[in-house]
């Protein structure tokens, strides 16, 4: 089963020790958007934080933009 989450990138932090950046995503809710109403009824609050040290990935994410995160179970190793 896949679970889709919708988050907005709310914060980007640079690190003094290298090229890594921390990206903070917050759960989305805009009462004027029906899709957001559906997401908020299932997951009204949430935060996703990730440290990324890959410039190709860092350049893809834009502050203030909403993104989907799809959660799919990983097979056992």
* Domain definitions of the chain by residue range: 2-72
Q: How confident is the model at residue 31 (pLDDT cuts 50, 70, 90)?
A: confident
Q: What is the DSSP letter of 77?
A: -
Rounded to whole angstroms, the Cα distance separating 42 from 55 reads 33
**pLDDT more than 70, % of the chain:** 92
**pLDDT for position 19:** 86
Phi, psi of 60 (to 5 degrees): -80, -25
Q: How confident is the model at residue 43 (pLDDT cuts 50, 70, 90)?
A: low
- Residues 50, 54, 56, 59, CA torsion sign: positive
Would the pTM count as exceeding 0.75? yes
Rounded to whole angstroms, the Cα distance separating 11 from 20 reads 14
């Amino acid at each position: 089963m896949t679970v889709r989450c919708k988050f907005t990138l709310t914060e980007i932090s640079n690190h003094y020790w290298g090229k890594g950046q921390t990206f903070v995503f917050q759960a989305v809710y805009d009462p004027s958007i029906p899709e957001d109403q559906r997401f908020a009824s299932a997951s009204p609050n949430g935060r996703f934080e990730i440290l990324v040290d890959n410039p190709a990935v860092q350049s893809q994410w834009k502050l203030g933009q909403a993104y989907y995160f799809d959660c799919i179970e990983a097979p056992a190793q």
